[in-house]
A and B are shown apart, each in its own frame.
Chain A
């Protein structure tokens, strides 16, 4: 099998090391340019199964704001991000929303929940 070099920037810490990763198929042969061991872990993960935490908003009916911020409980596979955003776009919550409320359970079958980032109190009748 042929070896191939891939360039990555490690985002584990703010330093942002420029990594050169040598891969053979799915296997990481060598990681260079990293300043610490976490760079190797990052390269392996990023090439095999890149994941990102996703934060966005979801509509809320009757709240002090029309939207509630939400986040994925843990990082989701990068290729599924826009599918997730489409799912979230379909949802409308009803105020009050509580911090930590599960907005979508097991989103896209990933086993990961989408949770509310904060409280959105109901809009009081008087205001």
Chain B
């Protein structure tokens, strides 16, 4: 039975939401509720049946459902309320939540702390303005994954995949396993956007050709996809005339990026970062609206689920503490800025006192790959606060650096810190 008021409500039961709910409960929040739009817990992990999850968290190579199952089982033992097959329609900045579901109808709930963990959505053909007809047979990789792995149906027989993101490559292997033909993977960038590991074990292993610097020029077919026309792209991202090739296929899968899902955040008045598409967060994962926290892909798109879990735990702990003590920041904060070859840094804002308690993890993505040794440097103007060596950086892999407790004094002097990635 649902209560009218909760200590912590978590919206979304993917890896971030599950971790947040578990940690909120363990931190001492009495009444915790998880709202999930699917009919079961686990989020997108349930359709990610491949392995490669949990190497950081559990030091084991787990499948997505197995990784999820561990958290689902833990949650079950903690007396956390769950509302499944439910949609949070609206959230106010005072943390009044409107939810609807077939099982419980239309309900209004209040919560002391709210965790936004809605994850992300896939970019569509429309967002990349893919020309051509609009037939059946154009799917985002995730939608196809759901059909194949959960619903039990194949969305096509012969595929072209646009985008070398991880989901695209993993689907290439998955479809091959189920007897489909994957003609090609096209990538508009001059480099792989997913992990190299997936290139080897999903594409190379099954002789699926990858063409970098290529994209889909147009989709052909009125009712169902009949072919796509591919084209090579030059250095300025312009199609090169004369390089067009018609590739017969009945399905085009798109793996062209993920966007944090923040419609509810917006309704709650949470300020969003145009670069990440997610909320501005501080080191507690608190957003610009007091008492509203955010974790996981809703903040920025992660590369590994383990980091999502970690963010969820951090967020759940702080949400619970907020619910219990309603503690506030004293306002002495430093802004984190993206410097050379850095797209963004999470958290966006850091409490100057946070270093008194522990080192703070900074996470970022680079703009361009550097296949050579680099420094990741945290700067206060011209003064270097800390740095870390990396052997290489790639946009597909997040970069992490700890801001150590020893940086406490340097941080007190700063109003803004920037992070840059430069060649060694």
Tell me the A residues contacting B by CB distance below 8 Å: 9, 11, 13-16, 35, 52-57, 59, 64-67, 69, 71, 78, 81, 85, 99, 117-119
**Given A55-B63, A57-B49, A71-B51, A64-B39 contact (CB < 8 Å):** yes
Q: Can you list 23 residue pairs at the A/B interface with Cβ under 8 Å?
A: A11-B196, A14-B397, A15-B196, A15-B391, A16-B196, A16-B197, A35-B391, A54-B177, A55-B50, A56-B177, A57-B49, A57-B152, A59-B152, A64-B40, A66-B151, A69-B64, A71-B66, A117-B49, A117-B63, A117-B65, A117-B69, A118-B46, A119-B69
Give the distance to chain B from A112, nearest Cβ to Cβ, in Å.
14
Residues of B within 8 A of A85 (CB): 177
CB pair B152 A65 closer than 8 Å? yes
B412 within 8 A of A: no
B199 within 8 A of A: yes
Residues of B within 8 A of A69 (CB): 49, 63-65, 149
Residues of B within 8 A of A53 (CB): 51, 61
Residues of A within 8 A of B178 (CB): 56
Q: In chain B between 185 and 211, which residues have their CB closer than 8 angstroms to a CB of chain A?
A: 195-197, 199-201, 204-205
CB pair A57 B149 closer than 8 Å? yes
Interface string of B394-422 (1 = CB under 8 A from A): 00010000000000000000000000000
B86 within 8 A of A: no
B271 within 8 A of A: no
CB pair B66 A117 closer than 8 Å? yes
Measured between alpha carbons, how far is A118 from B69 in the docked complex, in Å?
6
B150 within 8 A of A: yes
Interface string of B65-85 (1 = CB under 8 A from A): 110110000000000000000
B392 within 8 A of A: yes
CB pair A118 B65 closer than 8 Å? yes
Give the distance to chain B from A74, nearest Cβ to Cβ, in Å.
10
- B46 — nearest CB in chain A belongs to which residue? A118
Give the distance to chain A from B416, nearest Cβ to Cβ, in Å.
31
CB pair A14 B196 closer than 8 Å? yes
* Max chain B C-beta neighbours (<10 A), residue from A35, A99, A118: A118
Measured between alpha carbons, how far is A71 from B174 in the docked complex, in Å?
13
CB pair A14 B66 closer than 8 Å? no
6 closest A-B pairs by beta carbon, nearest first, are A16-B196, A118-B65, A69-B49, A66-B152, A117-B65, A11-B197
Residues of B within 8 A of A59 (CB): 152
Residues of A within 8 A of B152 (CB): 57, 59, 65-67
CB pair B196 A9 closer than 8 Å? yes
Interface string of B124-161 (1 = CB under 8 A from A): 00000000000000000000000001111000000000
- In the complex, which of the residues A11, A15, A57, A119 contacts B392, with contact meaning CB atoms closer than 8 Å? A15
Measured between alpha carbons, how far is A9 from B201 in the docked complex, in Å?
10
Residues of B within 8 A of A81 (CB): 177
Measured between alpha carbons, how far is A78 from B204 in the docked complex, in Å?
12
Measured between alpha carbons, how far is A66 from B68 in the docked complex, in Å?
19
- A72 — nearest CB in chain B belongs to which residue? B51
**Given A55-B51, A118-B46, A9-B392 contact (CB < 8 Å):** no
Residues of B within 8 A of A117 (CB): 49, 63-66, 69
Measured between alpha carbons, how far is A64 from B39 in the docked complex, in Å?
10
- In the complex, which of the residues B42, B69, B149, B199 contacts A67, with contact meaning CB atoms closer than 8 Å? B149
Give the distance to chain B from A20, nearest Cβ to Cβ, in Å.
15
Give the distance to chain B from A48, nearest Cβ to Cβ, in Å.
16
Measured between alpha carbons, how far is A69 from B200 in the docked complex, in Å?
22
Residues of A within 8 A of B177 (CB): 54, 56, 81, 85
- A56 — nearest CB in chain B belongs to which residue? B177
Known: A53-B61, A56-B49, A66-B151. 4 other contacts (CB 8 A): A64-B40, A81-B177, A118-B42, A118-B46
Measured between alpha carbons, how far is A15 from B199 in the docked complex, in Å?
12
- In the complex, which of the residues A13, A66, A71 contacts B63, with contact meaning CB atoms closer than 8 Å? A71
Give the distance to chain A from B366, nearest Cβ to Cβ, in Å.
14
CB pair A16 B151 closer than 8 Å? no
Residues of A within 8 A of B66 (CB): 71, 99, 117-118
Measured between alpha carbons, how far is A13 from B201 in the docked complex, in Å?
12
CB pair B46 A11 closer than 8 Å? no
Residues of B within 8 A of A67 (CB): 149-150, 152
- In the complex, which of the residues A14, A35, A118 contacts B195, with contact meaning CB atoms closer than 8 Å? A14
Residues of B within 8 A of A57 (CB): 49, 149, 152
Measured between alpha carbons, how far is A15 from B394 in the docked complex, in Å?
9
CB pair A52 B196 closer than 8 Å? no
- B70 — nearest CB in chain A belongs to which residue? A99
Residues of A within 8 A of B392 (CB): 15
Residues of A within 8 A of B200 (CB): 9, 11, 16
Measured between alpha carbons, how far is A58 from B65 in the docked complex, in Å?
14
Give the distance to chain B from A104, nearest Cβ to Cβ, in Å.
15
CB pair A78 B199 closer than 8 Å? no
Give the distance to chain A from B50, nearest Cβ to Cβ, in Å.
5
Measured between alpha carbons, how far is A9 from B195 in the docked complex, in Å?
12
Interface string of B44-67 (1 = CB under 8 A from A): 001001110000000001011110
